[in-house]
Amino acid sequence: MFVWSRKHVWVLGVLCLAQVLDSVDVTIVNVALPAMQDELGFSAETLSWVINAYMVVFGGFLLLGGRLGDLYGHRRVLLGGVALFTVASAAAGFAQDGWLLVAARAVQGLGAAFIAPMTLALIALIFPEGPPRNRAFAVWGAATGAASTVGLIAGGLFADGPGWRWIFFVNLPVGVLLLIAGRLLPAGVRSARTARGFDLIGALTSTAGVGLLAFTVLQSDDWSSPRTVGLLAIAVVLLGYFVLHEARIAREPLVALRLFGIRSLLGANAIQALRGAAMFAVFYFATLYLQGVLGYSALETGLAYVPLTLILIVASSLGPALVRRFGMRLVIAAGALVTAGGLLMFTGLTPDGTLAGDVMPALLVVGLGLGVIVVPLTTAALAGVPASDSGVASSLLNVSAQLGGALGLAVLSSLVIRATAGRLADDEAVVGGYRLGFGVAAGLMAAVVVIALTVLHNGREQS
């Protein structure tokens, strides 16, 4: 019988801190982009690469990071990722040229790709299925949700205070602390396949395919252009060959295709992609509305998300009890339904709306729904997965979140841009575009309800 000890609490704290290091960096840079542009001379076209370089490399190397953890030890890969991330953060903070900053951000993304799947994999290995794992996932989910908003606030504080470089310097003491405290972590399961190496061709084709897909999604504003179609075709060919190689050629596959025979894993990844799209849409469109229409500053916008963070934490903590009572399937479906309702509330926004009366109620409802989903979704993704495959299964969940969020946001942004073309000076037209984006996002969460009820098993007996 599993008994929580002080060591378990410390280990979970270390894993959550590692995840926070990843999650904060996704949002902390956003509000400081204008300051970086002024100092380093970015053009409007190249500035986005401060974000995109991180996201493309992060998404592209997640599968490789997960499999390396399964082969060579989860703690070793996690600490290696932390070390790489810390060094890259120092390089980003000292960068005197725009493209040096972009290169440092790419290396940060590589380090993050080794950290993120290892935190989930180690939780799954340390805490047995049922209440202990559900509780650990709840704490992990709350830390992840809080990190996004903390990033927005911290970015505003640093940009308005000591300067944008401290956005990266703050990672240094955190990284060093993790490298020291990481010795508390167990080594993790090492696959017996280690001695025979791993699938290099699979690693290269999956990384190139996922990376190119992420790059194309993040850079394309015209989905019918020959360049976009061509890049997407190449990405599809690479990923298609990857599947063929894993199924028929590789002696030691990077991703064992038998994992896709686990119904809960498939359903959880589909849901994670749709959830990521909805989450990205909330932050993106709500931020544009608050700053562009209501006139809030970057710091004020970050502070406006604090209640969302609090409700995410509370809702995540409720997850284990809800799963025990109702099962994974029903809790995920209910959370998705609540999220869809909150997104529909955003469709009532007007140019003369208010934070308290229009934005905050919708944010709280969305936060409640998204928070409730965290524990059962993570549990569903890893339930029944062999310990030797936990790293790559965790990576798949992260890939789904990143690509689902990027692809969903790209599609939603494209719809909004087309709806407001030539009318950017008209606040009513702009807000109408945001309403459209939120409405489509609500439809995505309605699809989650269907997937949860038809694909996932209820999982009650595992909680």
Give the CATH number of the domain where residue 428 resides: 1.20.1250.20
Give the mean pLDDT per block of 10 residues along the chain (463 residues): 81 89 79 79 71 78 80 88 96 92 93 88 82 81 76 79 89 93 72 56 81 73 80 91 85 74 83 86 81 80 82 82 86 94 93 90 92 83 72 75 74 76 69 90 94 78 41
The answer as to whether 190 is a domain residue is: no
Is residue 301 located within the same domain as residue 231?
no
Is residue 438 located within the same domain as residue 332?
yes
Residue 115 CA to residue 109 CA, distance in Å, equals 10
The answer as to whether 269 is a domain residue is: yes
Predicted local confidence at residue 421, as pLDDT: 65
Residue 102 CA to residue 270 CA, distance in Å, equals 31
Residue 163 CA to residue 158 CA, distance in Å, equals 5
The answer as to whether 87 is a domain residue is: yes
The answer as to whether 432 is a domain residue is: yes
Is residue 295 located within the same domain as residue 249?
no
Is residue 174 located within the same domain as residue 299?
no
Is residue 166 located within the same domain as residue 239?
no
Is residue 319 located within the same domain as residue 452?
yes
- DSSP-derived secondary structure letter, 253: -
Q: What is the domain range of residue 454? A: 261-463
Contact 133, 124 (CB under 8 A): yes
Largest CA distance in the chain: 64
- Tokens (6 digits) for 304: 């406006």
The answer as to whether 192 is a domain residue is: no
Is residue 160 located within the same domain as residue 288?
no
Is residue 71 located within the same domain as residue 14?
yes
DSSP string across 83-120:
HHHHHHHHHHHH--SHHHHHHHHHHHHHHHHHHHHHHH
Is residue 309 located within the same domain as residue 243?
no
User: Which one-letter amino acid corresponds to residue 326?
Assistant: F
Q: In the chain, what is the straight-line distance between the N-terminal and C-terminal CA atoms, in Å? A: 14
Is residue 234 located within the same domain as residue 374?
no
The answer as to whether 214 is a domain residue is: yes
Is residue 125 located within the same domain as residue 58?
yes
The answer as to whether 194 is a domain residue is: no
Cβ-based burial of 129 (10 A; exposed 0-12, middle 13-18, buried ≥19):
middle
End residue of a domain, out of 184, 215, 234? 184
Residue 230 CA to residue 161 CA, distance in Å, equals 44
Question: Could you tell me which of 64, 330, 104 has the C-alpha nearest to residue 201?
Answer: 64
User: Which one-letter amino acid corresponds to residue 230?
Assistant: G
Domain count, the chain: 3
Is residue 14 located within the same domain as residue 83?
yes
Contact 330, 273 (CB under 8 A): no
- DSSP-derived secondary structure letter, 386: -
